[in-house]
Amino acid sequence: MGLTEETCRTLVQTAAEARKNAHAPYSGFDVGAAVLTEDGTTYSGCNVEVSNYSEGCCAERVATFKAISAGHRRLVACAVVAEMAEDPCGPCGACRQVLRDFGPDMDVVLGTPSGEVLSVDPLKELFPMSFGPEHVLASIRARHGKG
């Protein structure tokens, strides 16, 4: 995607700031995320846990849903910040799917709570052979003879 170093740093810093608002009383695993829309707007989010674990939401999806609810449909980048002892923390599978639907060509920037950029990778490398909206539409067209 060609993100500048400055853009990567800004996204990681925004994600690190959002991480401070994480609500993770059960896991203690605070995560922050920031997504960049194609018009340059940034939205942040943090993970939110609830007592029924499966009903919480990851930071990446919170940030994405904020962007979508504000009228954006295309994302170009997502930064994720969590405190890890060794390797950086990438998006979970569910988040990769949501990111894929709104930014198949996006870059994923992984960073630290102190704002350090650890890596920048194309989502396509983190989520190879993914399934997206175009596959659903092709299936619908094929079923209705409009293939």
Residues designated catalytic: 60
Question: Is residue 70 packed enough to be buried (19+ CB in 10 Å), middle (13-18) or exposed (0-12)?
Answer: exposed
The answer to whether the beta carbons of residues 96 and 130 sit under 8 Å apart is yes
CA torsion angle 108 57 62 32 (round to 10): -60
